[in-house]
Structure 1
Amino acid sequence: MTMIPLSEDMASAATRAVFAALEAKGGKGCVRFVGGCVRNLIMGKPASDLDLSTQLSPDETEAALAAAGIRSVPTGKAYGTITAVVDGAPYEITSLREDVETDGRRAVVTYTTDWAKDALRRDFYLNALYADIDGQVYDPTGKGLADAQAGRVRFIGEAEQRIREDYLRILRFFRFSAGYAREIDPASLAACVALKTGIDGLSGERIQQELLKTLALPQPLAAFAAMQAHGLMPHVVPGWQAEEGKLPELAVVIGLSDDPEIRLMALIDSGVGLAATALHACQTRLKWSQRLYNRLRDAGRALDLLAENAPFARLMYLHGRQATEDAIYLAAAHQGKEAAAVAYVMRMLQGLEIPVFPVKGADLIARGLPAGPEVGRALKQLETEWINHDFSQSVIEAALDALAK
């Protein structure tokens, strides 16, 4: 018997109230912690994803919670998930399931009371672990506990079968390997490589989510390097052309920033570049939000100016402070700069104010320029001169004096 000390959240009064409510209807042991929180505690990591599994059906779960006076929300009832809310804390409770039919993107499931059948439909052995409210660990596959203790990420059963059930598991394999594996499992990797074209049928939203989740990990480089080395990246990022096995920009940026979006810029820069056509293709396929697309676009434009040795003030005026900072990270990646050098530049940047163009249309009219379209054209021309002369006040004064005369 393996016991784990529960985290504070897992042992809280609110959590115990949820367990008690379900066990009042389904009997002792009808509900267990599952997946991430159990795996992480075994591996000595902070508990996360406080999810529960139960032998009760979704309708029975709702009835049990209602009988205990606990509010429930049918957040994913069609998929077997009911969310209980106690003292503002949500608990996702999913009924045990087994797959009836799969098509590579979604599964048709039926409910079961068999913990082993529920475990066998999961992706990796170390994710098919359960624990009760006393901290006793249950390992229906007989391999999850050993894999968690060894830092090993492997598909349950036949790897290719698990992948064909949902091709997103290819990307999840690399994400979980980056987060939990001491090394990438060769057999699981081989299955991912053999079925890599299945990624093409996934929605852009699902691919984007996995990319950002992986990039948010402390050390994701090995996962992306493996995908690149084995030809998976062209199926993940449209137009991918990076040299096989080479991701130098990403390697540097990982050591400079833990912002997954900055790391995404470096990844895209490595693979397809930050030109408008490449970014449009990525947005179309990966369903980026307009905000994310704009951030990458502005960073690319600022990077081009930075390559021309444009002053930081000009970059900030034209593209904003965030784009300038993003471009500095990317430039550091191109040049292989160390974190200390980047930190120095960032501190210097914090001391700079974004210039404000000091002339308005009324100023030109007051000096004799007739009101109309010419005012706008003159303002734009004057602003361009002012920017190109590093925001020189003398340029402004000379232009206004010329108008007055």
Structure 2
Amino acid sequence: MLRPAVRQVFAALEARGGAGCVRFVGGCVRNVVMGRAPTDLDLSTQLTPDQTEAALSAAHIRHVPTGKAFGTISAIIDGEPFEITSLREDVETDGRRAVVSFTTDWAKDAQRRDFYLNALYADIRGAVFDPTGEGFDDARDGRVRFIGDAETRIREDYLRILRFFRFTASHGQSMDAESFAACARLKSGIDTLSGERISQELFKLLAVDDPTVVIAAMIDSGVMAHVLPSISAQATPLRAMCRLTSDIERRLLALLHPDGLQPEALECLSSRLRLSNRVAGRLRDAARRLPQADINTGETSWRRMAYRDGKAVLCDALILHSALSGLAQAEWQAIETLITALDLPVFPLKSAQLIAAGLTPGPELGQAIKRIEADWIAHDFSQNVIDAAIDEIRERTKI
């Protein structure tokens, strides 16, 4: 509230709509009430999108219509964006998107939100507003509940099922029974959502300090089967992985173990969730190397695997093996430090050496290099292997 950029945005909007026409909303207010640091500074205003743009222009504040059709204009000051959304009420919903109309009524805007603890507002002077009458207490007590009738809120947007579990994991003290039951009843609605929306929410859930209790409830209720279709997700490996790392993609590896790490399952999952090539490749590489990854084999074996696949792939495969083996965090960190510090050799053989020994350029030369490199790796990168191979070629090709 004291930051110059924040006060500049408030001043610009209030110059157009009067004192109190703009308020902080949602997560930043909720977190402060809960004694946590505020995160995204989202703002709500009684101004329409056109009026918001006019107010920002008058104050010479750069802005972009990031979601103007839905009421959102982003003000940008010193590179920092502030999302400003006009108060809205739903006119029509279909479970994925809503048709909205703009209003000046804070209570109507609050009623269209998902959970009571997210329907809190605060002005620049520090006054907190709770139009539903339930949000402040729910935030203070760590209670995540749908506003009004849970099934009605879910049918407006089925992504709210996943948001319920995510917010319960991150902000809830316990699982609200009525909301949970509604999510379980309407879980098939998840199938109508885009893969991008599902994966974004799943990754946010996996980023919570300890999401395992909530994820176990999702698995037991059948909700997770609609998030990760055709895969038997496992909470136990995930619980162990969460003790070892906060890396979201490594946690996903554990959640997918073992059924979801089969090549065909990973391919279907990547397509359904619209995973990036990088993420899909990381999961695929770790799954491919998991059978060979063993925390008990030691540095020599690790160096071979790191040379073939890279240190990152080796660490991903080994941390999953460590989680399945019940390794403590300190033990894993020692292993990861050792792998990171490994001095990997460079294959010293050049094609010119084999040509000089008697091989002619062509397929046979390439095959010989691959065969010698594999033997060199298997013998712990010994130069003797290369010397012996060159001698053998000279002996075999001499006339």
Match of 1:48 among 39, 45, 70: 39
Tell me the equivalent position of 1:315. Answer: 305
Are 1:374 and 2:361 matched, yes or no? no
For 1:6, the equivalent position in structure 2 comes to none
Among residues 384, 392, 396, which one is paired with 1:402 in the alignment? 392
Distance in 1, matches of 2:304 and 2:235, equals 30
TM-superposed CA distance for 1:71, in Å, is: 1.3
1:389 Cα deviation from its structure 2 partner = 2.2
Match of 2:235 in 1: 247
Number of matched pairs: 392
Moved more, 317-326 or 135-144: 317-326
User: Which residue identity lines up with residue 70 of structure 1 in the other structure?
Assistant: I
Q: CA deviation at 1:236?
A: 0.5
Deviation at 1:347, TM superposition (A): 2.0
Indicate whether 1:341 and 2:328 are aligned. no
Aligned match of 1:268: 256
CA contact (8 A) 1:313 1:355 kept: no
Task: Please tell me whether the aligned partners of residues 225 and 232 of structure 2 are also in contact (alpha carbons under 8 angstroms).
Answer: yes
Equivalent in the alignment of 2:284: 297
CA distance in 1, matches of 2:41, 2:135: 18
Partner AA of 2:34 in structure 1: M
Query: TM-score with structure 2 length normalisation?
Result: 0.96
**Matched residues in 2 for 1:240 and 1:347: separation?**
33
Shift of 1:79: 1.2
SS of match in other structure, 2:327:
coil
CA contact (8 A) 1:124 1:156 kept: yes
Q: Which amino acid aligns with 2:279?
A: L
Identity of aligned residues (%): 58
Give, in whole Å, the separation in 2 of the partners of 1:212 and 1:224. 12
How far apart are the structure 1 equivalents of 2:313 and 2:293?
11
Report the counterpart of residue 353 of structure 2 in structure 1.
363
Q: Is the 8 A contact 2:311 2:340 kept in 1?
A: no
Query: How far apart are 1:384 and its partner, in Å?
Result: 1.7
- What's the CA shift for 1:249? 0.9
Q: CA deviation at 1:354?
A: 2.4
SS at match of 1:84: strand
What SS does the corresponding residue of 1:291 show, helix, strand or coil? helix
Structure 1 unaligned blocks of 5 or more: 1-9
1:282: how far off?
Answer: 0.6
Q: Which residue of 2 aligns with 1:196?
A: 187
Amino acid at match of 1:248: T
Q: CA deviation at 1:193?
A: 0.2
The CA deviation at 1:350 is 2.4
Match of 1:167 among 150, 158, 167: 158
Measure the CA separation in 1 of the matches of 2:60 and 2:232.
57
**Which of 268, 271, 275 is matched with 1:281 structurally?**
268
1:306 aligns with 2:293: yes
Residue 302 of structure 1 and its aligned partner are, at CA, apart by 2.1
Counterparts of 1:198-213 in structure 2, within 5 Å, are 198-213=189-204
Aligned equivalents of 1:240, 1:36: Cα separation in 2:
33
Q: CA deviation at 1:298?
A: 1.0
Moved more, 134-143 or 348-357: 348-357
Q: Which SS does the other structure have where 1:32 is aligned?
A: strand
CA shift, 1:388, in A, is 2.2
Q: Is the 8 A contact 1:96 1:118 kept in 2?
A: yes
Between stretches 71-80 and 301-310, larger displacement belongs to 301-310
Helix, strand or coil: the match of 1:155?
coil
Match of 1:68 among 54, 59, 79: 59
- How far does the alpha carbon of each residue in 1:65-93 deviate from its partner, in whole angstroms, 9 at most, with x for none? 11111111111111110011123221110
Aligned counterpart for 2:229 among listed residues 223, 234, 238: 238
Equivalent residue letter for 2:32: L
From 122, 126, 137, the counterpart of 2:128: 137
Aligned to 1:4: none
C-alpha displacement of 1:234: 1.1
Q: Which amino acid aligns with 2:148?
A: G
2:91 to 91, 100, 109: 100
Q: For 1:105 and 1:365, how far apart are their aligned partners in 2? A: 64
Give the distance between the partners of 2:308 and 2:340, measured in 1 at CA.
17
Q: Does the aligned pair in 1 maintain the 2:56–2:62 contact within 8 Å?
A: yes
The match for 1:222 is 213
Query: Do the aligned residues in 1 keep the contact of 2:13 with 2:21 (CA within 8 Å)?
Result: yes
Secondary structure, aligned partner of 1:98: strand
Please give the alpha-carbon distance, in whole angstroms, between the structure 1 residues aligned to 2:230 and 2:155. 25
Q: 1:390 and 1:248 mapped to 2: Cα distance?
A: 36
Q: Give the distance between the partners of 2:108 and 2:223, measured in 1 at CA.
A: 31
Aligned counterparts of 1:247 and 1:18: Cα–Cα separation in 2: 45
The amino acid that maps onto 1:295 is R
Separation in 1, partners of 2:3, 2:116: 27
